[in-house]
Structure 1
Amino acid sequence: MKNNENAVAPAMESTETIRAFQFHAPQADLDDLHRRILATRWPEKEPVNDNSQGVPLAVVQALAKYWADNYDWRKVEAKINSYPNFITTIDGLDIHFIHVRSKHENALPILITHGWPGSIIEQMKIIDPLTNPTAYGGKAEDAFHVVIPSIPGYGFSGRPAETGWGPERIGKAWVELMKRLGYDKFLAQGGDWGGLITDVMAVQSPDNLLGMATNFPCTVPPEVNNAAFSGLPAPDGLSGEEKEAYDQLSFAYKYVSYAFIMGSRPQTLLATADSPVGLATMFLDHDQKSLELISRVFAGESEGLTRDDVLDNITLCWLTNTAISGYRLYWENKYPFVAPFGVKVPVVVSAFPDELYQAPKSWAEKAYPKMIYYKKHNKGGHFAAWEQPELLVEDLREGFKSLR
């Protein structure tokens, strides 16, 4: 291991600053959720036969029927509680996190950040393969110590009562969290908000990050991003791969209306804190490719996600009443979502085809001048750890080999 021998010698958690945590939803809350699902007032079917007006009624009704008749929250609750969960107060706010140490010598510490509409549930599929690689087709030298925090306002973390909890402040809190655990130097990975937060953290705290990985690469040249956002023709001089990425991004910008209202009027979406089916509909409409995937799941097809996967994440948000506080991150954010940040640390890039855009290697090389690994996948979408955990784990193992 190079230049980071002290990074994997975490201090024992102090009971004074870090508290063990488990979550047990009151049965009354689950009963209330069931009642509300059954009481949903449905509109008429949309007058189109595609997703152009949003989430189709049939998809939401199939989701609601399964939610009410077959879904069991206690299964995922037990899975969450099977990992070491903790809460610590940073910058005046309670921060929840999962922290699993590997048994293998020289394991590298890695902090992994989820996005919206997400939670720590997104990353639970990759915890065991990362911490215990020999049981999942890897070698002992592939091991990581894994820390997965809940973003402020999400899941079990505190809901900010003041403004200012944007990506910069979250990045600083993550560095403090890792130092508190004894990791002065560490790796970081993320997708969606987690990707953006990781880029910001790498720029703010390069001395703390040994390297970073992202499945939501921030690589789009500003002039390309501006043209895609404005619906203009692609700029001249793009390669075939870059033009394809431009077309993907231009298409994605047409279907992210949720981001505009959350970025300007998050409190106006109060109804999604009152209706579980309303909340589910909001979550399903993140992007067209994810909606298509989830629609197939609730039509009975086998995909990277199951019906339980989808509802685990929605139900966690419902039970913690974090819909509105989660939306507010869009209001707090002042950064473009996919433009480069000026990251100078080593970077691992995972480019999935059904992401908002599949980052071309040419853009990634310019955005991340110290890129040490790039993989263009032929399957997978926006929620990589959730949908394609094996592929993401392989990228992390292979990508960070040179830093050990």
Structure 2
Amino acid sequence: MTDTESPRPDERIEPFRLDVPQAELDDLAERLDRTRWPDELPGAGWEYGMPLGYLRELVRYWRHAYDWRAAEARLNAWPQYTTRIDGARVHFAHLRSPEPAATPLLMVHGWPGSPVEFSRVAGPLTDPVRYGGDPADAFHLVLPSIPGFGLSGPTRERGWEPRRVAAAFAELMRRLGHRRYGVQGGDWGAAISRELGRTRPEVIGVHLNLLPNGYMARRPEERDLSGLSRREVADTHRSWARFQSWARDRQGYADIQSTRPQTLAYGLTDSPVGQLAWIAEKFQEWAEHPVDRDLLLTNVMLYWLTATAGSSARLYYERAHADYWGAPPEPSVAPTAVAHFPHDNFVLLPHLARETNRIVQWTDHDCGGHFPGLEVPDLLVDDVRRFFRTLLGRGSDRGGHPPAPVG
């Protein structure tokens, strides 16, 4: 809120601090000790899913070496709050830069992530001087948990699909007094961030490290390839081949969460090892560089402690059953940057993205995967800085006038 406004009772923003009862941690330890392990085919490796030996070692570390209280303290170093929007509790961290002219930036995680994804970029983005950067590149960060995920969950009613989440986050930024702001996201965060840019004039720019569905699943036909360069033709065929491989071997989790999230929820909510395997497999498969085990486990803990395996999965169901599902992407005129990391799940194609997005920066990085904030934080920070530096330096891209003050 601004200094001159008083929040209505239903708009209150309450301070939040993590303080998990020891009884819950003791229960987790007992469950880990009582794990009932499945068998495994000899020599199966990762072909059938997460190998038994890999998961046993990860569980051993979780049980005997991982320190939740230390992780809890690190999370509590972030100023955190909750507020109710559209009937849901929304949890967020609000990290103000020491630079008063910093640009507000909403950063949105995906599945199976959380704001923990931004642990390694929050410092450089909010306080660039401390990290050897330019104070002009500073951001005030707002890091919400998607409704239904972790500390913003569980949701209690139907219909929490990406457009509704985007509207809730726009309301959050209004309550915080940010009249003009940028957005950034990957995975579900990309869909939510793009929707904010498409529908909200107060959004000054959209930075994505993935493109939402609709840009990589097109079977290449002659009419699609005509006029493309040799490289673009090759990338188009490569993109389609990777998508086919994904649909054949790696899409099962999404199909289940899009159709039977409640059935899945029983196993993941009752078994911490089940919850760990469901999430850790994705961090192993989708990342090029290993993600720090402690950060991975902190992310898993936010799902386990809040029992939000089911409500987070419902985002898939609600999107798959929304009236717009399967329709072509609606055009967005928001200035948009795409940071393409090569080990991510799909090959992104600039010529398709430009059909319905106003792409003003496209960067093909030579390393990194689905979780760039945890894998290659320096690359993500640099990409975000370059985009907003250029955007704010050249005036508004939505009418030729200088941008309105941010903050």
TM over 0.5: yes
1:96, 1:13 → 2: CA distance?
21
Secondary structure at the aligned position of 1:148 is classed as: strand
Q: Which amino acid aligns with 1:360?
A: L
Residues in 1 aligned to 2:56 and 2:173: alpha-carbon distance in whole angstroms: 43
- Residues 188, 212 of structure 2: 8 Å contact kept: no
Question: Residues 153 and 306 of structure 2 are in contact (CA less than 8 Å); yes or no, is this contact kept in structure 1?
Answer: no
| Residue 281 of structure 1: aligned partner | 277
| TM-superposed deviation, 1:55 | 1.2
Aligned length: 376
User: How far 1:54 moved relative to its partner?
Assistant: 1.1
The answer for the alignment partner of 2:312 in structure 1 is 326
Q: State the secondary structure of the residue aligned to 1:400.
A: helix
**The 10-residue stretch of structure 1 (35-44 or 46-55) with the greater mean CA deviation from structure 2:** 46-55
Decide whether the 8 Å contact of 2:88 with 2:156 is kept in 1. no
Per-residue deviation at 1:49? 3.0
- Structure 1 residues 14 and 380 mapped into 2: Cα distance closer, same or farther (>3 Å)? farther
How far is 1:204 from its partner?
Answer: 2.3
Shift in Å, 1:341: 3.7
> What is aligned with 2:147?
152
| Structure 1 residues 43 and 304: alpha-carbon distance in aligned structure 2, compared to 1, 3 A threshold | closer
Q: Distance in 1 between matches of 2:204 and 2:305?
A: 36
Measure, in 2, the Cα distance between the counterparts of 1:359 and 1:217. 7
- What do the CA deviations read for 1:352-384 (whole angstroms, capped 9, x no partner)? 01111131333333342x222111111111112
For 2:304 and 2:25, locate their aligned partners in 1 and report how far apart those are by CA, in whole Å.
Answer: 10
Q: Which amino acid aligns with 2:355?
A: K
The one of 172, 175, 186 equivalent to 1:191 is 186
Q: Is the 8 A contact 2:193 2:206 kept in 1?
A: yes
C-alpha deviation, 1:247, in angstroms: 2.1
Q: 5+ residue gaps in structure 1?
A: 1-8, 228-233, 294-302
Does the 8 Å CA contact 2:283/2:291 hold for their aligned counterparts?
A: no
- State the match for 1:69 in structure 2: 64
Equivalence for 2:208: 214
Compute the displacement of 1:287 (Å): 7.4
Are 2:268 and 1:272 equivalent residues in the alignment?
Answer: yes
Structure 1 285/14 Cα, relative in aligned 2: closer, same or farther at 3 Å? Answer: farther
Q: Do the aligned partners of residues 35 and 397 (structure 1) sit closer, same or farther apart at CA in structure 2, a change above 3 Å counting?
A: same
Match of 2:123 in 1: 128
Q: Is the 8 A contact 1:12 1:181 kept in 2?
A: no
Q: Deviations over 1:307-362 (max 9, x none)?
A: 11211111111111111111111111146699644221001111001111131333
Q: RMSD of the alignment, in Å? A: 2.2
Q: Secondary structure at the match of 2:368?
A: coil
Give the Cα separation in 2 of the matches to 1:279 and 1:377.
32
- Which amino acid is 2:294 matched to? D
Aligned to 1:239: 233
Aligned match of 2:378: 390
Structure 2 CA distance for partners of 1:357 and 1:11, relative to 1, 3 Å: farther
Task: Name the aligned partner's letter for residue 402 of structure 1.
Answer: T
Q: Does 1:361 align with 2:353?
A: no
Would the aligned equivalents of 2:154 and 2:307 in 1 still touch at CA under 8 Å? no
Q: Which residue identity is paired with 1:134?
A: V
1:337–1:84 distance in 2 versus 1, CA, 3 Å:
farther
1:371 equivalent to 2:365? Answer no
CA distance, structure 2, for counterparts of residue 320 and residue 14 of structure 1: 31
Structure 2, unaligned runs of 5 or more: 226-231, 393-407
The answer to whether the aligner puts 1:35 opposite 2:21 as a matched pair is no
CA distance in 1 between partners of 2:189 and 2:327 (Å): 12
Q: Are the counterparts in 2 of residues 114 and 193 from structure 1 also a CA contact under 8 Å?
A: yes
1:98 counterpart SS class: strand
Distance 1:157 1:245 in 2: 35
Given the superposition, is the C-alpha separation of residues 28 and 13 from structure 1 closer, same or farther in structure 2, using an over 3 Å criterion? farther
Deviation by residue 1:250-297 (Cα, 9 ceiling, x = unmatched): 222221101111111101011110000001111123377327x5xxxx
Identify if the C-alpha distance between structure 1 residues 39 and 371 changes in structure 2 by more than 3 Å, giving closer, same or farther: same
Amino acid at match of 1:118: G
CA distance in structure 1 between the partners assigned to 2:372 and 2:130 by the alignment: 21
SS of 2:150's equivalent in the other structure is coil
Deviations 1:229-255 (A, max 9, x none): xxxxx5443611222222222222221
Task: Check the 8 A contact 2:218/2:240 in 1, yes or no.
Answer: no
Q: Is the 8 A contact 1:178 1:184 kept in 2?
A: yes
Question: What is the deviation of 1:220?
Answer: 4.8
What is the match of residue 201 of structure 1?
A: 196
Matched-pair contact (CA < 8 Å) for 1:108–1:187: yes
CA contact (8 A) 1:348 1:400 kept: no
Q: Is the 8 A contact 2:154 2:306 kept in 1?
A: no
Deviation string 1:3-59 (CA, Å, 9 cap, x unpaired) is xxxxxx955896861111001111111111111111111111234433221111111
In the alignment, structure 1 residue 316 sits paired with structure 2 residue 308: no
| Alpha-carbon distance in structure 2 between the residues aligned to 1:321 and 1:87 | 18
How far 1:386 moved relative to its partner? 1.9
* CA deviation map 1:144-201 (0-9, x unaligned): 1100101111111142211011111111011100011111221111111111111122
Alignment partner of 1:187: what SS?
A: strand
Q: Percent identity?
A: 38
Task: Tell me the residue number matched to 1:248.
Answer: 242
Q: Which residue number corresponds to residue 395 of structure 2? A: none
